[in-house]
């Protein structure tokens, strides 16, 4: 007894996408970014299948790392936002959690708090993103001081995050170059003395900024088969090699004829220009289908494209099937996946694929296949 609205997760696609990252960067180690429940795909399961292949994982916050440890994952896990309070340091040190150090306060806490095991630290350099990270002076001081701490592992990783790599048009322009040159100036200054390693590239960097590929890369979105590039997935040839890892499906639960000039749904934002057939589908914004999706957003049903007609409701959407043949109650509908690319739905909802896949809610069962 269940509503048939599901997210099918293709684990083989995630493996193949990870292998593509390795192939693009044969001289780097790629840390698999599985924050936000592996971008909505189910982090415990995704971590299990990637664990034999990857050197380490990354998540955003410590709670995500704790739940992976509880699920039996043993590879190192980098916490991209670092620690919140000193009491977490001992847990991190003894559970092989690596910490990004994203502020002067965090580095001071670590310097003040001796741990019983060695801490593996990644130091974030703010080269222009201006969200997190230490500036050059703060970093020079932090590197020297942390290097003196017996509880800090040698070979700290210096990292930064690119602000504009996701736009292939401007990747080669001044913003990315300014970030890279600031980063490598500091890195080259200290790398011998402190045996530093480097990490710059996210998926966009891996795919589009060869100079950003360093000792460690941090691929996220590409593992799930979606483009890191803004609204233009078809314009970069590498994106065609990525395999979408999620197929989000639901079911037709009602079909009706709507007379000419009658409207459908909240706000009456869609009106029948002629007598139309409307199918109601059991998915809404409470499941993670984007409420901002415009009239005309495609869904795939019985090998045909039907178009969203009317506003997305909490638990339902309505689509115009007037031009489609043979559709009946109970038919499966693909909302995004292999036939309708999530990036296409995202752009029709004025957002990006990241937002859609991380937004598929708890109410939707994840069904895994190899
Ligand atoms: C989320 C995140 C990544 C992964 O980014 P993608 O664009 O998904 O590849 C890499 N680095 C940091 C610091 C992040 O927060």
How far apart (Å, rounded) are the C-alpha atoms in residues 314 and 316? Answer: 6
CA of 35 to the centre of ligand 1 (A): 9
CA of 16 to the centre of ligand 1 (A): 19
The preferred substitution site among 218, 229, 233 for testing ligand 1, maximizing ligand atoms within 8 Å of CB, is 218
Percent of the chain with pLDDT over 90: 92
Q: Tell which atom from ligand 1 comes closest to the C-alpha of 33.
A: 4
**Stated pTM of the model:** 0.96
CA of 322 to the centre of ligand 1 (A): 42
Q: What is the pLDDT of residues 96-116, one digit of tens each?
A: 999 999 999 999 999 999 999
Per-residue pLDDT at 233 exceeds 90: no
Residues in the ligand 1 pocket, defined by CB under 6 Å: 33, 35, 80, 161, 202-204, 218-221, 228
Q: What is the number of other CB atoms lying within 10 angstroms of the CB of residue 144?
A: 12
Q: Tell which atom from ligand 1 comes closest to the C-alpha of 166.
A: 7
What confidence tier does 170 reach under pLDDT thresholds 50, 70, 90? Answer: low
pLDDT for residue 23: 97
What confidence tier does 2 reach under pLDDT thresholds 50, 70, 90? Answer: confident
Average pLDDT over residues 300-314: 98
List the catalytic residues.
Answer: 35, 266
For the chain, the three-class secondary structure string (H helix, E strand, C coil) is: CCCCCEEEEEHHHHHHHHHHHHHHCCCCEECEECHHHHHCCCHHHHHHHHCCCCCCEEECCHHHHHHHHHCCCCCCEEECCCCCCCCHHHHHHHCCEEEEECCHHHHHHHHHCCCCCCECEEEEECCCCCCCCECHHHHHHHHHHHHCCCCECCCCEEECCCCCCCCCCCCCCHHHHHHHHHHHHHHHHHHHHHCCEEECCCHHHHHHCHHHCCCEECCCHHHHCCCCCCCCHHHCHHHHHCCCCEEEEEEEEEEEEECCCCEECHHHCEECCCCEEEEEECCCCCCCCCCCCCCCCEEEECCEEEEECCCCCCCCEEEECCCCCCCCCCCEEEEECCCCCHHHHHHHCCCCHHHHHHCCCCCCCEEEEC
CA of 328 to the centre of ligand 1 (A): 42
Q: Tell which atom from ligand 1 comes closest to the C-alpha of 218.
A: 10
Q: What is the pLDDT of residues 172-208, one digit of tens each?
A: 568 999 999 999 999 999 999 999 999 999 999 999 8
Q: What is the pLDDT of residues 56-70, one digit of tens each?
A: 999 999 999 999 999
Q: Is 81 exposed, middle or buried (0-12, 13-18, 19+ CB in 10 A)?
A: middle
Percent of the chain with pLDDT over 70: 97
């Amino acid at each position: 007894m269940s509503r048939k609205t599901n997210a099918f997760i293709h684990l083989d696609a995630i493996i193949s996408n990870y292998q593509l990252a390795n192939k693009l960067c044969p001289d780097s180690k790629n840390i698999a970014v599985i924050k936000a429940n592996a971008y909505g795909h189910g982090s415990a399961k995704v971590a299990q299948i990637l664990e034999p292949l990857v050197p380490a994982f990354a998540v955003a916050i410590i709670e995500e790392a704790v739940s992976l440890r509880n699920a039996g994952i043993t590879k190192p896990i980098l916490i991209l936002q670092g620690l919140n309070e000193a009491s977490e340091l001992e847990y991190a040190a003894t559970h092989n959690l690596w910490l990004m150090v994203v502020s002067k306060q965090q580095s001071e806490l670590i310097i003040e708090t001796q741990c019983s095991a060695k801490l593996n630290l990644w130091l974030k350099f703010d080269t222009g993103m201006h969200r997190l990270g230490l500036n050059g002076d703060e970093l020079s001081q932090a590197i020297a001081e942390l290097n003196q701490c017996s509880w800090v592992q040698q070979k700290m990783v210096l990292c930064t995050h690119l602000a504009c790599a996701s736009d292939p048009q401007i990747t080669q322009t001044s913003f990315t170059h300014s970030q890279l040159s600031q980063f490598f100036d500091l890195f080259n200054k200290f790398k011998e003395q402190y045996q530093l390693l480097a990490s710059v590239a996210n998926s966009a960097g891996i795919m589009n900024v060869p100079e950003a590929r360093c000792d460690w890369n941090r691929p996220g979105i590409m593992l799930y088969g979606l483009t890191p590039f803004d609204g233009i997935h078809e314009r970069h040839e590498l994106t065609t090699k990525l395999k979408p890892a999620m197929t989000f499906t639901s079911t037709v639960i009602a079909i009706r004829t709507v007379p000419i000039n009658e409207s459908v749904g909240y706000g009456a934002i869609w009106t029948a220009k002629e007598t139309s057939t409307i199918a109601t589908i059991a998915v809404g914004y409470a499941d993670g289908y984007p409420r901002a999706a415009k009239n005309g957003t495609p869904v795939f049903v019985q090998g045909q494209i039907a178009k969203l007609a009317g506003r997305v409701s909490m638990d339902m959407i309505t689509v115009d099937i007037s031009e489609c043949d043979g559709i009946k109650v109970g038919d499966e509908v693909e909302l995004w996946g292999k036939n309708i690319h999530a990036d296409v739905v995202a752009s029709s909802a004025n957002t990006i694929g990241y937002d859609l896949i991380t937004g598929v809610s708890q109410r939707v069962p994840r069904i895994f296949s190899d």
